[in-house]
Amino acid sequence: MTWKYKREASRFCTYFSLMLICAHPCALLASATAASCCVASEKKRVQGRALLSSVSGKVSSVSGKNLKRSDKSLMHFIEAKGILNNNGGFLGMNIYRGCSHGCIYCDSRSKCYQFTYAFEDIEVKKNAPELLENVLRSKRRKCMIGTGAMSDPYMHCEKELMLTRKCEEIIYRSGFGFAVQTKSDMILRDIDLLDEINRQAKCVVQMTLTTYDDELCGLIEPNVCNTKRRLEVLAKMQERGIPTIVWLTPILPFINDTVENILAILRECYSAGVKGIICFGIGVTLREGDREYFYAALDKHFPGLKEKYISTYGDAYDVPSVHSGKLKRVMEDFCAEHKMMCRPDECFQYMNELPEKFEQTSFF
């Protein structure tokens, strides 16, 4: 997820305000300021390091054909002071910081986040489950808890560490609702648990889709499962009755900004029963740190395209598709016709609401 989307999303849904999320993207969104402060304090408490490859070596078989290992990444284990970011009554958490999925457009690698090590290194809040259990025990009102805004909660290391799963177990035991954002099919490992959360309270799974072309997907999102697999995940959620939201972002100018791509994704979303599409604009955002990485990827995979970006956009932060107006109408018309939410505020309101069924079960 680009910063623009995080910023806009945070206007509607700050529970995604993870303390430095996921940019992920993907995910969702957290207050970057709060996140930066949180991270800065945590850096002082780094207690250990371990080779990421030592815990992620078997991941390739889990997440799809185009997944590669991040052999040079490191892990930084820390004792965090806090796990939840409370903003306006909505709670968000980031268990990890940094991301190994390798999306070429990732805003989270931007210099403003002040990473002191490679973005592919993963900072792990090893005491996240304990912190979460303690804080939820003290909450009098149940609500939705979000994760996935600044780093994907189902990165390679999660297979071994299982911190996301442990936090989900705590959320289930505590009776809270859960909204999780990912690009990874590793989430299927926990589908039984997500199903239980949804039956008891509410669970919303958010998946990011940017391109219908899986070959292209392998270039722009190289270390995570491809779009076809993500659609299979959405279908499996639909079978369980777990509601889903799709982040249709970013749409990269001159790469995936076509009517064919947008419609192909939307048709699949409709088939998978996706409730809503989140898209803040047809384009991408680029800034220092993020831009250099993106341009290097363009040079590698799309020779000559970097020069076209520079001549078209210069150093602009907002990089909209030249077809943005047309593509936005295509998306809005499709969603209206198929009764899918496509306004961000609608989607966030839906994800923030915890149904009364919890209130009915909370007395037992």
Residue 68: CB minimum distance to ligand SF4, A: 13
The binder of ligand SF4 chosen from 6, 101, 126, 291 (CB under 6 A): 101
Sheet with 244-247: list strands edge to edge. Answer: 84-87, 90-93, 144-147, 177-182, 203-208, 244-247, 276-278
Rounded to whole angstroms, the Cα distance separating 272 from 282 reads: 23
The SS3 of residue 75 is strand
Residue 99: CB minimum distance to ligand SF4, A: 3
Residue 285: in which H helix or E strand, if any?
strand 283-285
159 binds ligand SF4 (CB under 6 A): no
What backbone phi and psi angles, to 5 degrees, belong to 6? -60, -45
Residue 316: CB minimum distance to ligand SF4, A: 20
Report which residue type is found at 169.
E
**In this complex, which beta carbon is closest to ligand SF4, that of residue 192 or of residue 215?**
215
Question: Where does residue 60 rank: exposed (0-12), middle (13-18), buried (19+ CB within 10 A)?
Answer: middle
Who's near 29: CB < 8 A, 6+ residues apart?
1, 5, 6, 7, 9, 10, 13, 14, 16, 17, 18, 21, 92, 149, 150
Which residues make beta-bridge pairs with 87? Answer: 90
Report which residue type is found at 325.
G
**Would you list the DSSP string of 191-205?**
HHHHHHHHHHS-EEE
Residue 5: CB minimum distance to ligand SF4, A: 10
Q: Which of residues 24-43 bind ligand SF4 (CB under 6 A)?
A: 24-26
CB 188 within 8 A of CB 32: no
Residue 242: CB minimum distance to ligand SF4, A: 20
Specify the stretch interacting with ligand SF4 by CB under 6 A; choose among 21-29, 47-55, 71-79, 308-316.
Answer: 21-29
151 binds ligand SF4 (CB under 6 A): yes
Specify the stretch interacting with ligand SF4 by CB under 6 A; choose among 17-25, 40-48, 80-88, 259-267.
Answer: 17-25
Specify the stretch interacting with ligand SF4 by CB under 6 A; choose among 6-14, 23-31, 122-130, 132-140.
Answer: 23-31
**In this complex, which beta carbon is closest to ligand SF4, that of residue 1 or of residue 59?**
1
The binder of ligand SF4 chosen from 159, 183, 202, 323 (CB under 6 A): 183
Site string for ligand SF4, 105-124 (x = CB under 6 A): -x-x----------------
Lookup result for tokens 């815990």: 55
Lookup result for tokens 């990473």: 115
| Cis? peptide before 320, omega within 30° of 0 | no
**In this complex, which beta carbon is closest to ligand SF4, that of residue 18 or of residue 55?**
18
**In this complex, which beta carbon is closest to ligand SF4, that of residue 169 or of residue 213?**
213
156 binds ligand SF4 (CB under 6 A): no
What length does the chain have? 364
Site string for ligand SF4, 244-273 (x = CB under 6 A): ------------------------------
**In this complex, which beta carbon is closest to ligand SF4, that of residue 23 or of residue 180?**
23
Specify the stretch interacting with ligand SF4 by CB under 6 A; choose among 3-11, 101-109, 231-239, 306-314.
Answer: 101-109
> Residue count at the site for ligand SF4 (CB under 6 A)?
15
Closest to 170 in 3D by CA, of 272, 91, 285, 70: 91
**In this complex, which beta carbon is closest to ligand SF4, that of residue 201 or of residue 281?**
281
Separation of first and last alpha carbons in the chain: 40
Rounded to whole angstroms, the Cα distance separating 97 from 119 reads: 8
| Cα 5 to the center of its chain, rounded Å | 11
Residue 349: CB minimum distance to ligand SF4, A: 23
The binder of ligand SF4 chosen from 121, 123, 152, 158 (CB under 6 A): 152
Lookup result for tokens 């955002």: 285
Binding site for ligand SF4 (CB under 6 A): 1, 22-26, 99, 101-103, 106, 108, 151-152, 183
